[in-house]
Each structure stands twice: as structure tokens, then as C-alpha cells.
Amino acid sequence: MNHYCTYFDGGFLPQGLALWRSLARHDPDSVLWVLALDETAARILAGVGGTWLRVVPLAELEAADPELARVKNSRSRAEYYFTLSPCWPRHLLRKRPDIGRVTYLDADMLFFGNPEGVFAAMDAAGASILITAHRFPEWLRHYEKHGRYNVGLLSFCNDGPGRSCLDAWRARCLEWCHDRLENGKYADQKYLDDWPAQFGDALLVLDDPAVNLAPWNWPAQSSSAGPEGVTVAGRPLVLFHFARFRALAGDWWWQSGQLDYGVMPWSLRQALYGRYWRALVAARAEIRQADPAWRQPARAVRYDRDFWRSLPLRVLFGSDWLRWGDRFISGRLGLGRYSGRLLAMLRTIFLRR
């Protein structure tokens, strides 16, 4: 039985439940441990999910980890959530010695296939820790300043190296975990750069383009959509990371989060985001059945200088999408796929001046 963990609040309930349903479909013997970040998430999740969705309120983690609770007021909400990343799986492995391995997942992911290859690769390598690289294409390598590895998928065995890694990561995040670049650090993520040298053969950097496919790496991974589904470098897609995908107005205007990387062409976009939309709709219906009074909370959009400054580029490349049914429309006939390359080229030109 595979154990996974994630965390989210009431505003992210549909995404979190969609993740769980996709996991239950493709790894039916699995358990997902959810750290509920507010009362809404804890209450509603208690009424959905079934036997293998386990819910732990944030207060329980904070009571068990007083050092974590002490840094809460010194950080923004996002920064505190980043700080939870090592503390949550560490707590599970300490409290539940029967869990042989726990795999952390960001809540904005969806499984498209069975993840057995992830664990088979880890076991074959004799590894206690697994991470995945961002796998940026050449023109996006400047984003490695935020970290070579992505926190979206991490796996830790309940053994010496696995626990040691979580202990060390937690200590560093408690000391410093902020949403900015500073002295070679960035949030919870940049710390992972040190792990290959620190843990050696106990760590596996998973080399599977079908796992943790994301807006920042799909252009370099030979991704395509066909009658059999999405393939990546000729392999069936296992896990996609829907990072920075959010509604800007109601359910009809969406930010793809892809402007900086390259906007997906039509067929791939519908195969991924169309399916994700249907999963979100099903999750919303399930939530409302458990709690008829529940309404999707509106996530605040910051109409600040950065929003308006980027608007012309978002319009030019079609990185903001209009939803029609389960289709997401950019109206740019494929032009958007070059946005990442062009913006990287302009960045290089202006930096040389």
C-alpha cells in the first residue's frame, strides 16, 4: 500500500479532491493523508473521500511540532504553507512507524496513469529519497535560480536517510523560508539543490518525463495528445502539475500560468486542461452533495502593477484562456507556444545593455 500526503485549505478543496479521485483511480490501494489547513477543509473532507482519505487538522501538527507553530506569525500565509512542506511528511513518519514510505504531492496535480514506475525506480536504485528535476528547456534555464528541483513530488522512506533528510530540510525551513530570492535561498525549494551531494546514493533524481510534467517543461519533453491520450517522449503521461492555473473572473476567464514558458497548443491543452476541468466539476458536485451550503470561494486576484504590466503580453500570446464548456480558448492559433522563447530572448538582450 502506497501512502501519499498533501495539504490545502477550503479554497483549494476541488483541486485537492480531484487529486484524490485521480489517485484512487490509478493507484486504488493507496492512502492519501491530507493536512487540512482550515476548518472548512477538515469538515467537508470528513464527509467525502472514503476509507483511504485520511484527514489531519493543522492544529494537530502544530501541537506536535511547537517549533513550527512558533514561526507562524513571522511569515505570510504562503510562506507558512511552504514551511509545512517538510514538517508534514516528517510528522507522519514519526507518528506512524507502519508507514514505510510517504510521497508528498502538491494539491494542484492530477494522475493520468499508474505511478508504480516511480516506486519501482526508487526500489531498483535502493534509494530512500526521490526528487524530480524541473527539466527546464535550454531557454528557461534562468529559472533554476529558484531551484533545480521541484517540490511538487517528493518521496521519503521511513529509514535513516529518509528521516535525516526531512529533519535537515525542516530545520532549514524553520530558520528561513520566504517567498523571495535571498543569499542562494528561495522558499522551501532551493534547499533541494544540495541534496544530491548531501545524500549521495540514498537519493534518486527520477528521470521520467511522464512524471511531473508541467507548464515549464512540456515544450522540451515531446509532449503530444492523440486518441490514446497524452504521451511524453513516447511514454503515457502519469502525472501533470497544473501550477499557477487559476480563475481570473468567475469560471469563464482563466490564467493558464504558461506565459513565461510557452502556451500549449490546442490539442494538448484540451487533453490536459479539459480533463482537469471535468475533474474539478465532478469534485465540486461531490462537495456540494456533502455540504449543500458550500460555495466555491473567490480567490483574490491582485490587480496590481504587475497584473496590468503583463496584460498586453498575455493578450498577445493568449496565456489567458476563455472557457467554453470544457474547452479553453486562447484564440492565437498556436502563437503562444513561442512566448517562453521570445521572453527569454528579450530578457537576454536587455540584460546585456
Would you say 173 and 188 are in contact if contact means Cβ atoms under 8 Å apart?
A: yes
Cα separation of 133 and 148, whole Å? Answer: 6
Hey, is 254 helix, strand or coil? strand
Please list the pLDDT of the chain residue by residue as tens digits (353 residues): 999 999 999 999 999 999 999 999 999 999 999 999 999 999 999 989 788 999 999 999 999 999 999 999 999 999 999 999 999 999 999 999 999 999 999 999 999 999 999 999 999 999 999 999 999 999 999 999 999 999 999 999 999 999 999 999 999 999 999 999 999 999 999 999 999 999 999 999 999 999 999 999 998 888 888 888 899 999 999 999 999 999 988 899 999 999 999 999 999 999 999 999 999 999 999 999 999 988 887 766 667 777 787 888 898 899 999 999 999 999 887 889 889 888 888 777 655 54
pLDDT tens-digit series, residues 266-305: 999 999 999 999 999 999 999 999 999 888 877 666 677 7
Q: What is the pLDDT of the chain when averaged over all its residues? A: 93
User: Cα dist. 84→70, 89, 101, 319 in Å?
Assistant: 13, 9, 18, 31
Q: Which helix (H) or strand (E) holds 205?
A: strand 203-206
pTM: 0.95
Please give the domain boundaries of the chain with CATH numbers for all domains: 3-243 (3.90.550.10), 305-352 (no CATH)
Which three three-digit cell numbers place residue 76?
Answer: 505570510
Using CA of residue 306, residue 257, residue 5, residue 50, what is the dihedral sign? positive
